[in-house]
Amino acid sequence: MKYLIVFFITLSVLFSCTKKVAKDPTLAYSDLALLDSINNAGSNYYKNNPNILAPAGGSPHGNFKLRFNKIGLNALTNSGKLPVGGTMPDGSLIVKDVYDGNANITLHAFMYKKSGSWLWGEIKPNKEVLYSVTKNPSTCTGCHSQPGNIDLVVSFNLH
C-alpha cells in the first residue's frame, strides 16, 4: 500500500510539472511567452544607460530604453556594441521599451534570435499584440537592413 501511494504521488508530480513546451515547442516562441521573457530580462541597458533615449534615423518607435537579456549582452564589446561582422547568438533578446510623454511604457518592440534568424514583435504591457512574431518580418527588416546595421540591429550605428 505504501508503495502504491508513493507511485501515485510521483505520477501526480510528474504530470503536474509537465510544461506545454514539451508538447509543442513553438509555444516557447509565442508573443505572450516572449512577453514573459521580456518582463524577466532584467535591466541590462544598452551601454549601461538607463535613460530614455530619443528616436534616431526616422525610427517609428518613439522615445525608448534599450535592453538586452544576458545572452545578448554578453555578445557586446566593452563599448556596448556588437563587433563589426559579428552576430548575436541564438537566444539573444533585444527589447526596446517605448515610452509616452509621461515616462510610461506604451509597448515593447523586440527581436529574439532563434535558429540564426530574428523573430520580431511589438506587444503592449497589457498583452495586446501589435505585431506578432508569426507575421512576415519584412516590415521590420526593411528598416533594420539600412546601411550600418550589424546583424539587423541598427541601434549600434544610431546611438
User: By C-alpha distance, which of 137, 151, 150 is closest to 90?
Assistant: 151
**What is the rounded CA–CA span in Å between residue 61 and residue 21?**
31
Judge whether 138 lies within some domain. Answer: yes
Residue numbers of the domain that contains 154: 26-158
Mean pLDDT of 10-24: 43
Judge whether 48 lies within some domain. Answer: yes
Residue 4: its pLDDT value, please?
Answer: 53
pLDDT tens, position by position, 114-156: 999 999 999 999 999 999 999 888 878 888 888 888 888 888 7
In the chain, the number of structural domains is 1
Judge whether 14 lies within some domain. Answer: no
The CATH number linked to 48 is 3.50.70
**What is the rounded CA–CA span in Å between residue 1 and residue 22?**
32
pLDDT tens, position by position, 58-107: 778 889 999 999 999 999 998 888 888 889 999 999 999 999 989 999 99
Alpha helices in 82-152 (DSSP H): 138-144
